[in-house]
Structure 1
Amino acid sequence: MPARRLRFRPAISAIALLLAVFGTQQARAGLFDDDEARRQVNDLSIKVNERVDTLSKAQIELMNQIQSLREENARLRGQVETLQYELESAKKRQQDFYVDLDGRVRKLETPPAAADTAQADGSAPPPPADAAADKKPSDPAAETREYEAALNLFKANKLKESAAAFEAFAKAHPDSTLAPNAYYWQGNALTAQRDCKRAIDVYRVVVAKWPQNPRAADSLIGVASCQQELGDAKSARTTLEAVLIKYPDSSAAATAKQRLKK
């Protein structure tokens, strides 16, 4: 028995040594795995922090851009409101100018009543028999009141009512000296309402019935404006050229020249 124990003792020692070595290697391997895991966790944490920083910077930049856009939008809105106000003011000044001009032109165009009706002996000439039978005598004062009432509606920017009033005047007084003006202002009121097709028809009545009246040239300018508004640039140009040909010395011709240059 003692001899047998002596034979197994080296084997046991060898096994114990192998186990010790194997255990040390496992411990080292475990230690290595923990270090690697900690390193990976640390690297991942660094990457996450970098990503968070990047996203935070991007978010801050985006917020700054949004704020800048809001400020720019507010600035542009203010400019639009200012331009709208200036446009409305310009339209109002233009209306006032044309109304004032219309009154001055009427004073120049309308002769004194006495010069039209008085005879050499101071008595009024009798109206033709057929004319007296066909229509009532005109009342210039009443016509003027009706006309100015329609013009005041236009001046007050009551465009729909103004157009209707001028149309009614033209129908009620087709032979009045104010008839071409009434058609012209009716066309302006319709144009301001963007009813360009009707406005063109109304303007053309002036050109057809009263081609020598100063409103004829102005009406052609109105026709050209409506054609341009309707997208018919070619017809608008033709109409403006017609103004230069038919009414070269009119103020409308100067307007036509300016528009043709554009």
Structure 2
Amino acid sequence: MKLSSFRTSILVAALFTALAPGVASAGIFDDDEARKAILDLRAKLDAVNVRLDKTDDLKANKSTALDLANENEQLRAEIAKLRGQIEVLSNDIANTQRRQQDFYVDLDNRLRKMEPKRMTVDGKDAVVEVSEQRAFDNAMALFKEGDYKNSAPAFSSFIAAYPQSAYLGSAQYWLGNSFYAQRDCKSTIAAMQQLVRAYPDHPKAPDAMLNIAGCYTELKDKVAAKKTLETLISQYPGTDAAQAAKSRLGSGK
């Protein structure tokens, strides 16, 4: 029932209660008494209205409080959801930063590996490119494995690709040894002579001359072999190769 209808019913009932006795005995009450009765009735109605207003306010307050409670629960749920999303995002950011750091470290390591290295090669300071080092090492690996057929072209390719390399003298020497291991004396002599002419101060130059003399001996060219040994003793006295050359000359080999 609506509030206005409820109030109207109360007003009608109150008026009927107050006026009914007056109508039944109209001759008993005078005008003052009638006015007093009406004033009393109005006072009662005002009191009823006040109580009804308070009841409405209380209901309204309860409804408002309920609405606020519902909104509060919704906000709590949304905040909890946002906190979860923030945790996920924070974790993703941390993982991304970690991956980036790992990437930069790996990239730096890769770049460092690609940078030329300063090192000592055959007693001299040198700057060696990564590809240069790799090519020389690959050729040496073939030689050490006994694959002389492939080590010879590997050293030849290295010499052609890196004509300014600090490894050039060594590459020339091991090229000659690759030929010598295949009993190719002519190619051995050519490779070793190139080393002695281009790099007379190379640590392997005395050994190269000893190998040249050995190849001449195998080719039955005793004159060239003897001359090579004598030159070796003259140019590189005090070396192990020079001592070996003296032994060969003394034995007549």
Q: Normalising by the residue count of structure 1, what TM-score does the alignment of the two structures yield?
A: 0.48
Q: Report the structure number with the largest CA radius of gyration.
A: 2
Q: So what's the TM-score if we normalise by structure 2? A: 0.49
